[in-house]
Structure 1
């Protein structure tokens, strides 16, 4: 450890190279001798390399020692990535739906959330495979499936009175959005299914706005022209210039659930939520709070002027059959309540 710390410390100051001043930070992987290991030299290098990448994942400018857990994690990742290739070909995915409510507690839409129904491991949540799919590039094919499935669901809902007015939100990966044919792909899906384009809402993350802003604006504008809506997801967790935000044709801002979760724990968190709602109102954007889990959170968000909500307070994401039953049940309750109010 002492040697590693000395190496890291040695790179703290800039150094001259070919008459230029350079700054760098090392990531060091260390593997200890194990005389029982086969092909000793090659195995040591492989283990040290694995530990080095672990050091990079931890934030760089540091060091990691190899342990067997790293190898286990790597083998699990390789196996899962191989299974993901099969999952894409066999379409082992399904969509779950989390309802979105307005201030009158009426269901106005839903967010489509992907799940992987693995034949042996059971239902796998997106947190376990989406990051891997992003790094491997498989996210483009997965994203294509999600969009296609969402359009098919909207087509099915269009024939059902209690579902036809719902807006369905779909998360779009940066790699998927930046594909040259993304606009044509979305337009084709909308045209082939014949859905109302205003019922499809694409969610982009704030981190996407750092690079390729002009390309993002051009694609958003082209899709807005045919009626597709846009939401800015996880607002406040990344970096976005307000000057760009004014140019981007969003319809909605989503307050990240981390702000909603903490807003009752201190005035600072509440102030952030209030600022996001005020910004949305000034830009004439609907503001939706995600991650609502308690009645106290819902009441405070309503008092601050938030217009839409989703979260476990209402329900967890549901498989399509359960979601449709949930909507029909709650729509019936809301209709009875309105009828009672009119009688009174």
Structure 2
């Protein structure tokens, strides 16, 4: 737990020394006949034999946690970390292969982290069997990526006051051969804590930039400030090579200016390492890539984010926008976010602009940028040029702007 912070603060050499010390102590905590192996990064796997049930395993698991949590003195630096353990058992009611056992243990480990870290968590095979039908397996998602079953839809972002189209947000969909077109909520949670999330995230960024090039090569004239925004998850951001990946990606798409790529990150992504995320954003900003803070207002450290993170745009969460016409509290939150954006010199955009009335009220509060069903639903790539050709500003929003100007005068 928290090993990345050790590397970031003290360097990889010291981090490697720490890993060796912790590995030695964990190995000494095991019994003869048990096996401990490092499978990559800061992850280890242990094969523990002759344990009849979960209760018999508890003393050994406690010893592993204690060994991992002992203080380590390396030169003049004193370090102490903890570990999260995921545990599964063999045999099971259903036949399982070795790689499936590893996935079960991996899933349980992340549940241990979510539960507070420095603890162990048992994989619940019975519960897994009962809920397995609700989720696609990691392997199925990996195969879908290889079979090119994923595609991107694009939802326009506009200036509601002027009618200008400022960009699109790329949104992944799964064209499932049996279940039809699937929304991301039906499959992305399965890979959120898995390395596959990084692979899918990189595919989204590459595909979005390729589509921008296709539009331009087909003669579509895009506004100068037009950009495509992509959602990047916490796991992808935490990869040590994220900036290098961006450099390689931009080099592979020379027609796209760096400022035409906007990376959207969830406000909650920064909770664990605000300083590290700030450095990463600064590095990407030097490349020319823009950042937006998504679902702003749903987290707990908004003022700290605005102070430390070099983001260009705040995206107001659609849950607040959707209910703003009926809920005074949501309306007050939106007013507060718009005020913060103005005070910190950030642009602000509203998601979930579902009706004409939503857009009018947002304009009255000083929020000009929006996306949502009142503007356009997410569109297949081939449908966007036609939408762009026929898009016109809602005349009522223009009237709202005139009325606001009159009141200001």
TM (normalized to structure 1)?
Answer: 0.74
**Alignment CA distance shift 1:199-1:312 (3 Å):** same
Indicate conservation of the 8 Å contact 2:318/2:350, yes or no: yes
Paired with 1:268 and 1:76, the residues of 2 have a C-alpha distance of 35
Indicate conservation of the 8 Å contact 1:232/1:253, yes or no: yes
Q: Is there any run of 5+ residues in structure 1 with no aligned partner, and where?
A: 1-40, 61-65, 338-344
Indicate conservation of the 8 Å contact 2:338/2:366, yes or no: yes
Q: Is there any run of 5+ residues in structure 2 with no aligned partner, and where?
A: 1-90, 95-103, 116-123, 399-409
TM-superposition CA deviations, 1:120-140 (whole Å, max 9, x none): 222111000111111333111
Task: Tell me the SS of whatever aligns to 1:136.
Answer: coil
Task: Tell me the SS of whatever aligns to 2:163.
Answer: coil
CA RMSD, Structure 1 to Structure 2 (Å):
3.2
Question: Which of 210, 216, 220 in structure 2 is aligned with 1:152?
Answer: 210
Aligned residue number for residue 85 of structure 1: 142
Task: Tell me the SS of whatever aligns to 1:112.
Answer: strand
Deviation >6 Å, runs of 4+? 331-334
**Alignment CA distance shift 1:211-1:332 (3 Å):** closer
Paired with 1:266 and 1:142, the residues of 2 have a C-alpha distance of 37
What pairs with 1:1-344 in structure 2 (closer than 5 Å)? 71-77=129-135, 79-102=136-159, 103-159=161-217, 160-163=219-222, 165=224, 166-194=226-254, 195-330=256-391
Report the CA distance between 1:85 and its aligned residue: 1.5
Count the aligned residue pairs: 284
TM (normalized to structure 2)?
Answer: 0.63
**Alignment CA distance shift 1:295-1:332 (3 Å):** closer
Indicate conservation of the 8 Å contact 2:165/2:223, yes or no: no
TM-superposition CA deviations, 1:24-57 (whole Å, max 9, x none): xxxxxxxxxxxxxxxxx9659xxxx9xxx8xx89
Task: Tell me the SS of whatever aligns to 2:287.
Answer: coil
Paired with 2:205 and 2:133, the residues of 1 have a C-alpha distance of 31
Paired with 2:181 and 2:257, the residues of 1 have a C-alpha distance of 31
Paired with 2:392 and 2:261, the residues of 1 have a C-alpha distance of 21
**Alignment CA distance shift 1:187-1:305 (3 Å):** same
Indicate conservation of the 8 Å contact 1:158/1:164, yes or no: no
Paired with 2:249 and 2:92, the residues of 1 have a C-alpha distance of 50
Indicate conservation of the 8 Å contact 1:96/1:113, yes or no: yes
Paired with 1:42 and 1:182, the residues of 2 have a C-alpha distance of 39
Task: Tell me the SS of whatever aligns to 1:84.
Answer: helix
